[in-house]
Amino acid sequence: MGSWAIAVHGGAGVDPCLPAVRQEEARRVLSRCLKLGAGALQAGLTAVDVVEMVVRELETDPVFNSGRGSALTRRGTVEMEASIMDGRGRRCGAVSGLSTVKNPVSLARLVMDRSPHSYLAFDGAEDFAREQGVEMVDNSYFITEENVSMLKLAKEANSIVFDYRVPIPGVDSCSAIAGLMGAKAEGGLQMNGLPINMYAPETVGCVVVDNNGWCAAATSTGGLMNKMNGRIGDSPLIGSGTYACDVCAVSCTGEGEAIIRSTLARDVAALMEYKGLSLQEAVDYAIKERLDEGKAGLIAVSRNGEVAYGFNTVGMFRGSATQDGFMEVGIW
């Protein structure tokens, strides 16, 4: 019997001006999910069951960008995607273009367990969900007032996303954003005389190694704010946003296009398998050498019960817990 370990993330790329109350909300959700996963592992649940359970919890809470609280397309709708992978036999399932499935990660699990395929998208994925009796809701369930405001801001600036996440050398990013958007110093960030919340939620993910040394990973997201309809990011792509094998499990977050180009999640496992690197060495190498100019982060666990993370953004919402009682939640 080995030692279990779990790590969760709520996205890489954190607004440097993120209000303290938002930071506390994020910490609260991550802590709750860690405790949920740790309790399940102590009870003997398998790694793949735990990652699904934890990501479902994250999808249900609107604090992060998955399920309820997902980012909006340029049409003001939600198109969600998710994937899950079981290191036992490298089984996997993924879904994209979901607009009415309450918990995308659980549909990804059903694709893995109950279909002959690994990936279903848009109408085909929604049809499969209905066939499986998955809980469906109206698209409005996923939409929050804050994300409607963010979409309005993005459209007025003709931008997919405000890249306040990446620090500019010699520039105070909070001041730069305020100046760009014409904020009033005394009244906070404003546009057209109205207060705007600049906090943009991010992708969620979970990686687990259970008592038997089996690894699993799951990732879920609403994608980019103001994205083109039909855009697919890294989160549902096995080997890019999610990967698990008999060596480790990885979940990524950040600039999806860069993660796709680098097949970031699989690269961590390959560095361990082929180059003999430790988990943290592999994570550090992948973040430093494989992203080119891209900005991203990831969490990982090894079959030996190790936990690692890395990011090249301002911050990454993250937390981890291990069988020996260690538990940590961090942002910066």
- Please provide the average confidence, as pLDDT, over all residues in the chain: 87
- Residue 249, pLDDT > 90, answer yes
- The upper half-sphere exposure of residue 295, i.e. CA atoms within 13 Å in the direction of its Cβ, equals 13
- For helices 47-60 and 104-114, angle between their N-to-C axes, nearest 10 degrees: 150
Q: Token digits for 214?
A: 């089996």
**pLDDT over 90 (residue 13):** no
Among residues 82, 154, 140, which one has the least CA distance to residue 112? 82
Query: What are 200's two structure tokens?
Result: 């943009």
- pLDDT value, residue 110: 98
Q: What is the pLDDT of residue 145?
A: 87
Burial class (CB in 10 A: 0-12, 13-18, 19+), 118: middle
- CA 240 remoteness from chain centre: 12
pLDDT given for residue 227 in this prediction: 85
- 328 DSSP β-pair partners: 320
> Is residue 131 packed enough to be buried (19+ CB in 10 Å), middle (13-18) or exposed (0-12)?
exposed
Of residues 154 and 181, which shows the higher confidence score? Answer: 154
Q: What is the pLDDT of residue 190?
A: 38
pLDDT the model gives residue 209: 98
pLDDT the model gives residue 163: 38
In the chain, DSSP finds a helix count (H) and a strand count (E) of 9, 14
Q: Which of 46, 73, 203, 219 is catalytic?
A: 203
Q: Which residue has the higher pLDDT, 226 or 30?
A: 30
Bridge partner list, 217: 85, 207
- The predicted model scores a pTM of 0.88
**pLDDT at res. 63:** 87
Is residue 116's pLDDT more than 70?
Answer: yes
- Known catalytic residue: 203? yes
Residue 266 confidence (pLDDT) above 80: yes
What local confidence, expressed as pLDDT, does residue 100 receive?
Answer: 96
What are the backbone angles phi and psi of residue 47, rounded to the nearest 5°? -60, -45
Percent of all residues in the chain with a pLDDT value above 70, rounded to a whole number = 86
Residue 174: the pLDDT is: 52
Mean pLDDT of 198-215: 84
Kindly give the interhelix angle for 279-289 and 264-275, rounded to the nearest 10 degrees.
130
* Residue 19 DSSP class: -
- Residue 286 C-beta-side C-alpha neighbours within 13 Å: 38
Which comes out higher in pLDDT, residue 318 or 164? Answer: 318
pLDDT of residue 176: 41
Averaged pLDDT for residues 311-318: 93
As a whole number, mean pLDDT of residues 305-316 equals: 95
Per-residue confidence (pLDDT) for residue 158, from 0 to 100: 65
32-86 pLDDT, tens digit per residue, is: 999 999 999 999 999 999 999 999 999 998 888 888 888 899 899 999 999 999 9
pLDDT of residue 169: 39
pLDDT in tens, 90-114: 999 999 999 999 999 999 999 999 9
Do residues 9 and 317 lie in contact, with contact meaning Cβ atoms separated by under 8 Å? yes
Ranges of H-type helices in 167-243: 173-181
pLDDT tens track for 174-205: 544 444 334 333 444 333 333 333 344 479 99
